[in-house]
Structure 1
Amino acid sequence: MPAYKFVKSSYSGGNADQECVEVARNIPRTVAVRDSKRPGGTVVTVAPAAWGAFTAELRRQQP
């Protein structure tokens, strides 16, 4: 597995119940996402364009 350098989402809090995802963008042409409570668990990878579309849609849906 590549050496992903994960960063917690800005929406993850300090409380373990509030933590959600970590994202790694250090591998070219790849965005890796994992559950911050299960760092040894599954890693989902997507293309940067797909990640950008996903996060743009989330921002559009915020009140």
Structure 2
Amino acid sequence: MHIDIDKDVCIGAGQCALAAPGVFTQDDDGYGILLPGHEAYSDDPSLDEAARACPVGAITVSG
């Protein structure tokens, strides 16, 4: 699945890292980023939950 985080929308709530800790983490400023090895794609089943958990809809999962 393809993962996109809109950095202009992300507010750093951290819900992505809580919902899918194997795919997301937070950078030094608290904004969501993908863990190394998940730069754009992953088959982690928790991705949809992470996208739904984002309070501002900054995460898009497709494919």
Tell me, yes or no, whether TM beats 0.5. Answer: no
TM-score band, normalised by shorter chain: under 0.3
TM-score by length of 2: 0.25
TM-score by length of 1: 0.25
Relative contact order (C-alpha < 8 Å, sep 6+): which is higher? Answer: 2
